[in-house]
Chain A
Amino acid sequence: MDTIKRYIVDYLEREYALPEGVDIDTFDFLENGYVDSMGMIQFVVLLEDEFGIAFDDEELSLPEFKTIGGLAGIIHSKMEALK
């Protein structure tokens, strides 16, 4: 698992382990109760701080933002763009 995904998974698993055998890339952590809509604010702030990026409103509302693989992809491409 790459660093970005590892960071996301460790954050999501603070309270509950992810279901065994789940497809990490497509797992919808918002719908499955791993972060609630209020907790997303904190999560987004930590991600921005950790990876030195800033999300815009459009990105926050993308369906990919709610899955581990999708979110890692967004972060990865934003970091690439900064290089």
Chain B
Amino acid sequence: MNRPIADAFYKNAALHPEKTAVVCDGQSVTYGELASEVSRYSHFLLENGVSYGDHIGIPMLNNIFSAILIMAANEIGIGLVPINPSMPPAAINSVFASGDVKHLIAHAAFLRRVGASLNIPGRTFCSDGEYEGAVSFSGAETCASDRPVIPQITGDETLVLIMTSGSTGDPKPIDLTQNCKDIRAKIFTELYSLNGDDVILAGTPLYHTLAVRLVMLPLILGGTAVILPRFTPELWMKSVQESKVTFTIAVSSQLSQISERIGEEYDLTSLRCLVSSSAWLEPAVKERLINKMHCEFHEIYGTSEVSSPTDIDFRDSASKLRSVGKCVPGASIRIRREDGSEAAVNEIGEITAKSVQIFKGYYKRPDLTAAAFDGDYFRTGDLGYVDEDGFLYYSGRIKEIIVTGGINVYPQDIELMLLENPAIREAAAFSLPDDKLGERIAVIVAPADGAKITERDVAVACARNLADYQQPRRIIIVHEIPKNSMGKISRMDLRAMYGGEG
């Protein structure tokens, strides 16, 4: 029986039962309390139709309940499939089907909004109070508080399935096992010299893999996890000050907002190390942070599949401000030419990465998994080069993905939704540069012959059928979408054409 993450957590709970394990929104739990809760919830799930190996869909909110559930999943060998709660029902069903989701755990507001439209073959659990047709967690209080015995558990069980595509696209479930998450935690521990004295802030939504990692890291180490209930620059800084946060990883869109406010009213000196992740950070923001923060400041590069193969500490590498760093322990980078050969120093090609942090594969999609690798190296779909000192530079993307606020958006998902409307003949989604979000989404639409379509019609369709992060910030109506010389719509050309305007 091997449960790498849960075993480490329970060991810490036995050593320091009175120590604070998790803090969120004015509430906190000790290791002793959390361990009892994790055991009780584990027994409760097992007694209510959930079995080892099952997958549970969950619009995961930033609260202590989610921390309990993440540890319970480790404890009994079940997989969590976190989703963005703003996703429309059709997209959720598609994601759940591709991830073999059997049960659902959700809050009442979510169940009221979309519960009736979801296909859940197993049980539905309501995480906050009673909801008709759903199992309430109130029964967990009377469950046993000893650790349940799961003889078959090895650590190779799926812990989290992360979906890379949304509504109409083909979802690619990234399979992250307990062992994989444990290795990633160990690499981070070594890289940033983390230990049981650290107070680690999870300031991004828990339905993304980054925050799940930031909650598990301190619980593995015997430190304290601070969960930010939601993000505003003020809440982030207040939380750092009040909980004396020592370490966190933030996404670049958050850091650009925070960097404008540092030094105003909050004391951030408890921070020993700050890491930027998930998208390239603007040089101006980077310089502001380096000048204003009195702590280590790093940037990491990576994808959900390979985690973070490179890292840069800007204090040690002041001359490499534009780089995303050098390989971390257990990782190597290879720049690939189109013909598959290895690129020379300073030559741009596709960034491929080999790493001990690698994911298990795309769940039940060996075809996609095989296509994503060149030998042992994962093909990121990003372009970049490595300089003579071994520093990696990010130059752009091969895949046509829009990255807005650090989140990947597939333009096809938006286009296919718009084209379902018979009044629309042509539709294209593309990115425009944006100071805060990195990129923002624009859509261009041409009406069918004789049909009339307004910006408002498009806005309503998007608001109804797309998730928050897929919403266009600009809508353009034309008689005919401009094409390239091959008669094709080119998102790059559209970006060039409309990028210069407000």
| A interface, CB within 8 angstroms of B | 6, 9-11, 13-17, 19, 32-34, 38-39, 41-42, 45-46, 48-49
A33 to chain B, nearest CB (A): 4
Residues of chain A within 8 A of B459, CB atoms compared: 41-42, 45
Query: A-B pairs with CB below 8 Å: how many?
Result: 59
How far is it, in angstroms, between the C-alpha of A29 and the C-alpha of B314 when the chains are bound?
37
Tell me if A10 and B112 are in contact (CB < 8 A).
yes
Given A42-B462, A45-B460, A16 and B112 contact (CB-CB distance below 8 Å): no
Tell me if A41 and B471 are in contact (CB < 8 A).
yes
Tell me if B85 and A42 are in contact (CB < 8 A).
no
Residue B138 is within 8 A (CB to CB) of chain A in the complex: no
Residue B154 is within 8 A (CB to CB) of chain A in the complex: no
How far is it, in angstroms, between the C-alpha of A41 and the C-alpha of B471 when the chains are bound?
9
A-B contact pairs, 17 of them (CB 8 A): A9-B109, A13-B107, A14-B59, A14-B86, A14-B109, A14-B110, A15-B61, A15-B62, A17-B107, A19-B25, A33-B235, A38-B471, A41-B459, A42-B459, A46-B463, A46-B464, A49-B464
Interface size on B, residues (CB 8 A): 28
A45 to chain B, nearest CB (A): 4
Residue B473 is within 8 A (CB to CB) of chain A in the complex: yes
Top 9 closest A-B pairs, CB basis?
A: A13-B109, A33-B232, A45-B463, A16-B230, A10-B109, A14-B85, A42-B463, A33-B230, A46-B463
The closest CB in chain A to the CB of B84 belongs to A15
Residue B347 is within 8 A (CB to CB) of chain A in the complex: no
How far is it, in angstroms, between the C-alpha of A68 and the C-alpha of B61 when the chains are bound?
21
Residues of chain A within 8 A of B230, CB atoms compared: 15-16, 32-34
Given A14-B86, A15-B205, A33-B230, A39 and B468 contact (CB-CB distance below 8 Å): yes
The closest CB in chain B to the CB of A15 belongs to B85
Residue B128 is within 8 A (CB to CB) of chain A in the complex: yes
Tell me if B471 and A42 are in contact (CB < 8 A).
yes
Given A15-B85, A17-B63, A38-B471, A33 and B109 contact (CB-CB distance below 8 Å): no
Tell me if B113 and A10 are in contact (CB < 8 A).
yes
How far is it, in angstroms, between the C-alpha of A34 and the C-alpha of B62 when the chains are bound?
13
Describe A's contact surface by its main secondary structure: helix
C-beta contact mask, B71-113 vs A, less than 8 Å → 1, else 0? 0000000000000011000000000000000000001011011
Tell me if B113 and A14 are in contact (CB < 8 A).
yes
Residues of chain A within 8 A of B110, CB atoms compared: 14
Residues of chain A within 8 A of B112, CB atoms compared: 6, 10
B29-87 interface with A by 8 A CB criterion: 59, 61-63, 85-86
Tell me if B232 and A38 are in contact (CB < 8 A).
no
Q: Given A17-B107, A42-B468, A48-B460, 14 other A-B contacts at CB below 8 A?
A: A10-B109, A14-B86, A14-B110, A15-B62, A15-B85, A15-B230, A16-B229, A17-B109, A32-B232, A33-B230, A39-B471, A41-B459, A41-B471, A45-B456
Tell me if B464 and A17 are in contact (CB < 8 A).
no
How far is it, in angstroms, between the C-alpha of A61 and the C-alpha of B128 when the chains are bound?
34
B160 to chain A, nearest CB (A): 18
B332 to chain A, nearest CB (A): 37
The closest CB in chain A to the CB of B233 belongs to A33
How far is it, in angstroms, between the C-alpha of A70 and the C-alpha of B471 when the chains are bound?
26
B439 to chain A, nearest CB (A): 13
The closest CB in chain B to the CB of A12 belongs to B109
How far is it, in angstroms, between the C-alpha of A34 and the C-alpha of B232 when the chains are bound?
9
Tell me if B460 and A49 are in contact (CB < 8 A).
yes
The closest CB in chain A to the CB of B231 belongs to A33
The closest CB in chain A to the CB of B65 belongs to A17
Residues of chain B within 8 A of A6, CB atoms compared: 112
How far is it, in angstroms, between the C-alpha of A19 and the C-alpha of B109 when the chains are bound?
14
B95 to chain A, nearest CB (A): 16
B118 to chain A, nearest CB (A): 15
How far is it, in angstroms, between the C-alpha of A10 and the C-alpha of B110 when the chains are bound?
7
Residues of chain A within 8 A of B128, CB atoms compared: 17
How far is it, in angstroms, between the C-alpha of A68 and the C-alpha of B280 when the chains are bound?
36
How far is it, in angstroms, between the C-alpha of A42 and the C-alpha of B110 when the chains are bound?
18
B182-222 interface with A by 8 A CB criterion: 205
How far is it, in angstroms, between the C-alpha of A49 and the C-alpha of B464 when the chains are bound?
9
B444-502 interface with A by 8 A CB criterion: 456, 459-460, 462-464, 468, 471, 473
How far is it, in angstroms, between the C-alpha of A19 and the C-alpha of B464 when the chains are bound?
26
B472 to chain A, nearest CB (A): 9
Residues of chain B within 8 A of A49, CB atoms compared: 460, 463-464
